[in-house]
A and B are shown apart, each in its own frame.
Chain A
Amino acid sequence: MPLVATIDFISFLAVIVALIFLLRGWNRALPHDIKLLIVGLLGLTLFHHFSNILEWGEISRALDPFEDFLELLTPMLWFMLIYSYLKELTTDDLRKSEGALRESEEKYRLLIENQTDMVVKVDIEGKFQFISPSYCEMFGKVNEELLGKKFMPFVHEDDRETTAKAMEALYYPPHKVSIEQRAMTKDGWKWLSWMDTAVLDENKNVVAIIGVGRDITERKQTEKILRESEDKLARSKKMESLGLLAGGVAHDLNNLLAGIVSYPELLLMDLPEDSKLRKPIETMQESGHRAAAIVQDLLTMARGAAITKEPLNLNYIVSDYLNSPEFKKLEHFHSTVTLKTKFDRDLLNINGSHVHLRKVVMNLVSNASEAIEGSGNVTISTMNRYVDRPQRGYDDVNIGEYVVLAVSDNGSGISPDDLERIFEPFYTKKVLGRSGTGLGLAVVWNTVQDHKGYIDVTSNEIGTTFELYFPITRDEISDKNLFIPIKDYKGNGETILVVDDVEIQREISCKMLDTLGYKTKAVSSGEEAVEYLKEHTVDLILLDMIMDPGINGRETYERIIKIHPNQKAIIVSGYAETTDVKKIQKLGAGKYIKKPLTLERLGLVIKEELGK
């Protein structure tokens, strides 16, 4: 059959060609088993055609049993080829998907590992399912330690309720919440901000929660510092305005008190020792002094009150107070309180007012003693302290050298709410009328401010410590004033012009000057003084600084020196040395003395001025 033989021959050639292609491209990236199967299949086909070609010969009959067997292999080889190919494709797919997965995982890993934000996934019970390395780093844990554990124990006790509520909110649209909470990290409590998102299933049920968090401790601290600064500023302004109010009232009271304080002194000088009036007048004088002391407290808060500063040592101030009758009385009243002192023997001096600082010590010790119910200790310490960086506390302490006066007690402490207000005037927790006027700590605060110092208060349930910082001075302490007999500062009939707008003050001043042996003339205003001096001369002028209405002390003196260029004068005021006082002193006026006047102080200053 030539036709069939021709066809088979073509087929034979096709298989040969196929084999040639296969062998030439043997190194192509096909699996080896597939290539072998193709070879097998082509080989079988080749054999099949070969046997067909030989069908007309004797050899064909000899190959018949093999042919039947080999022909059966052909569909099986086809099956194996297709099957192997599909298997290879599946493996290849798997390989590719694994590669893609690896790539995806790598991207994801890089993303998670290199971001500073923390990422966690928790189940609905709050147990960790996934924790990013940044979270592990923050909490100083390894992944295995946290997986399956609840996150809530890390949260600060005070923030747990808020956190739990926020978690509940995740069950409702939009299934997102942001929480700020404190958590116990490896570096202690830190503020963390979390943006939580609920993971929902196809039925919109929450199955997990993904949280992205970051450390906001620094921001919180900055906010806290800012808030504290604002509070401090507000508190300072409040104290200042209250102080001004109190000071305003005190100034008027001070003038009124002059009569009660000064007249008894003058009266007692004239009274015989056995006079029946001596005792009541002494009581009057004592009451006047007490009232003056309260007014002085109020004036201290006016932050402009006359404070005469001189170099002094706080150890001496504290010792002075501890030896005073006031302290003995306090000791008697609080007999169960033990007072301890820790003095720094090398304590540096400060520039301050003995009277005010003694009052500060007294108020602090008195408060500390009263804070102790039953028995306890009050400790007064003094120390030198160098602050080399701004120190945050109740007040912010700036860099510098300070002397620190610390008064601490082991009482029940001050509540944080009260701590905010303790320095306010008239703020008191004590039983009204029993002790204090609510001015004690206000005086402390104002005195410290006047001394350009700082206060730090720390209080808890086991006690309170007040630390007062005063800037040091290198000046030496001057000799303490001794009692000077009146003859040493008596005048010799010199003429003194008293210029004061307050009648009672004029009268007192004149009376004192008469006692001191001076001739006096009093006028009620600056204008009157100028007019008087156009016609007359005086040896010295006792000039009040603040006069209302009319020109003040400075302007009066300026006009006077135009008439009498070398006119001697002494300045009198209830307030501190203002710029006006300094100006007037530059023009030639002498010393400045504060009201209320005492005979000795007035006499000494006049004597000194006249002696120039």
Chain B
Amino acid sequence: MIQQNELIMLLLGIGCMIFILVNKQKVKRIPVAKPLIAGFYVLLAGYVLTILEGLFWKDFLNVLEHICYTASSILMAVWCWKIFAFK
């Protein structure tokens, strides 16, 4: 079953993605942009999986969803490490 909250979250995420895609060239200039943007995309994938798990393969997709969140967190940590731990 699809929850309204999750759908809004997905729509907001997609809106953010469109913004990133529109400003692709500029976004590339963000320091160590790759892990940061990858972290966002993985998070967005998590949102998609949240929706999908309400439709089918609930357990499996739920695990994937959490993996996505974790991957997103790890990528965020890598980004923070590169940005804040190096001069």
Residues on A close to B: CB < 8 A? 3-4, 7-8, 10-12, 14-15, 17-19, 21-22, 24-26, 28, 30, 38, 41-42, 45, 48-49, 52, 68, 71-72, 74-76, 78-79, 82-83, 85-86, 89-90
Contacts and interface: CB of A to CB of B under 8 A. Distances in A.
Given A4-B62, A21-B84, A89 B26 contact: yes
A3 B80 contact: no
5 smallest A-B Cβ distances: which pairs?
Answer: A25-B84, A11-B70, A75-B12, A18-B77, A14-B73
A45 B69 CA distance: 9
A159 to B, nearest CB: 56
B15 A14 contact: no
Given A72-B8, A89-B30, 6 more contacts: A11-B69, A17-B80, A18-B80, A25-B84, A82-B20, A86-B23
Interface of B: 5, 8-9, 12-13, 15-16, 19-20, 23, 26-27, 29-30, 40, 43-44, 47, 62-63, 66-67, 69-70, 72-74, 76-77, 79-81, 83-85
B74 to A, nearest CB: 4
Given A22-B84, A38-B80, A79-B15, A89 B5 contact: no
Contacts of B72: 11, 45
Nearest to B71: A11
B67 A7 contact: yes
Contacts of A18: 73, 76-77, 79-81
Contacts of A75: 9, 12-13, 15-16, 43-44, 47
Contact of A79 (B12, B27, B79, B81): B12
Given A8-B69, A18-B77, A25 B85 contact: yes
A79 B40 CA distance: 10
Given A72-B9, A82-B19, A89-B26, A10 B70 contact: yes
A79 B5 CA distance: 18
B79 to A, nearest CB: 8
Given A78-B16, A79-B15, A7 B70 contact: yes
A45 B5 contact: no
Contacts of A21: 77, 80-81, 83-85
A48 B69 contact: yes
Contacts of A14: 70, 73-74, 76-77
A25 B26 contact: no
A14 B71 CA distance: 9
Contacts of A24: 84-85
Contacts of A52: 66
A24 B47 CA distance: 31
Contacts of B62: 4
Contacts of A26: 84
Nearest to B39: A78
Contacts of B81: 17-18, 21
Nearest to B15: A79
Contacts of A22: 80, 84
A37 B19 CA distance: 17
A3 B70 CA distance: 12
A83 B30 CA distance: 11
B12 A15 contact: no
Contacts of B29: 89
Contacts of B80: 17-19, 21-22, 25, 38, 42
Contact of A72 (B12, B63, B66, B76): B12
B32 to A, nearest CB: 11
A86 B84 CA distance: 19
Nearest to A20: B80
B66 A15 contact: no
10 contacts: A8-B69, A11-B70, A15-B76, A17-B77, A41-B76, A45-B76, A72-B8, A74-B43, A75-B12, A76-B12
Contacts of B43: 74-75, 78
B69 to A, nearest CB: 5
Contacts of A83: 19
A79 B19 contact: yes
Contact of B27 (A3, A10, A25, A82): A82
A392 B62 CA distance: 108
Given A72-B5, A75-B13, A8 B77 contact: no
A45 B29 CA distance: 25
A3 B59 CA distance: 11
A12 B80 CA distance: 15
A49 B77 CA distance: 15
Contacts of B76: 14-15, 18, 41-42, 45
A86 B5 contact: no
Contact of B30 (A17, A71, A74, A85): A85
A30 B73 CA distance: 21
Contacts of B84: 21-22, 24-26, 28
A313 B20 CA distance: 108
A68 B5 contact: yes
